[in-house]
Amino acid sequence: MKRFYKTVTAEPDGDGAVIRLDGRLLKTPAKADMRLPSLALAQAIAEEWQAQQDEIRPTTMPLTQLAATAIDRVAADPRFATEEVVRYGGTDLLSYRADEPAALAARQAAEWQPLLDWFRDRYDVQLNVTTGIIAVAQPAELLPRLERVCVGLDAYALTALHWATTNTGSVVIGLALLDGRLDAEAACRTALIDELHQSAKWGEDAEAAARRAGLLADLQAIGRFLGLLRARN
């Protein structure tokens, strides 16, 4: 889509903020007003719109995408995001360890177990761990506990958790990012331990490197989105 506006402004609106393009309220793809919970977030999204050149490229506006998803999809019906996040609890990446090589298994234990211990202390449930690809049963209270966590989040935080969980394959990593236990770089490294081990041993693969860069960019956007949400007016 061609850029159709000249000026972009963010301004307070009640207990939140809005963005205006040439004085008109910015709309979401579903034509809802993009009313945001913090002026800081509105200003950052306004910067994404101001940075567009002759053509508007949505892939260069991750904060806009996150906010629009929260407003159009998650606020309207949070069940799909909640159900998908909860489902990851039964197959969490951190529950599945390598049995060989020994160096990879040791690295997984060293980096993943502290997160599982944090998750146990924070949410009062211990994820079970296995090696290989054989499925491991999780405690009966895990999924209801995760559902309660999701229900307690607003649409913006739930959207961020959903993106982080589905991108990393781990609700534990998603919640650690949400809670500030991990930053984006650490979350990316934690999710890609296997790939990083392989690249260190066999050399860099261009496709894998591009995938890692994409994941890091996504997690950095999610981390920034969460930080801006906390910067209430």
Q: Where are the domains of the chain?
A: 8-74, 79-230
* CA–CA gap between residue 39 and residue 169 (Å, rounded): 31
Answer whether residue 14 shows pLDDT above 60.
yes
Placement of tokens 């994409």 in the chain: 214
Please tell me the predicted confidence (pLDDT) of residue 232. Answer: 62
Topology (CATH level 3) of domain 79-230 = ATP12-like fold (1.10.3580)
User: What average pLDDT does the chain have?
Assistant: 95
Which residue, among 19, 39, 17, 15, has the nearest Cα to 28 in the 3D structure?
Answer: 19
pLDDT band of 199, cuts 50, 70, 90: confident
Q: Treating both helix axes as pointing N-terminal to C-terminal, what angle do 171-179 and 155-168 enclose, rounded to 10 degrees?
A: 140
Percentage of the chain exceeding pLDDT 70? 99
pLDDT band of 159, cuts 50, 70, 90: very high
**pLDDT tens digits for 90-141?**
999 999 999 889 999 999 999 999 999 999 999 999 999 999 778 899 999 9
Per-residue tokens: 188: 């990316």
Q: Mean pLDDT across the stretch 210-214? A: 92
Contact 97, 129 (CB under 8 A): yes
**pLDDT tens digits for 66-85?**
999 999 999 999 999 999 99
Give the strand pairing for 24-25 and 8-13: unpaired
Answer whether residue 203 shows pLDDT above 90.
no
Answer whether residue 233 shows pLDDT above 50.
no
Which residue, among 78, 62, 112, has the nearest Cα to 215 in the 3D structure?
Answer: 62
Topology (CATH level 3) of domain 8-74 = ATP12-like (3.30.2180)
Cα 158 from chain centroid?
9
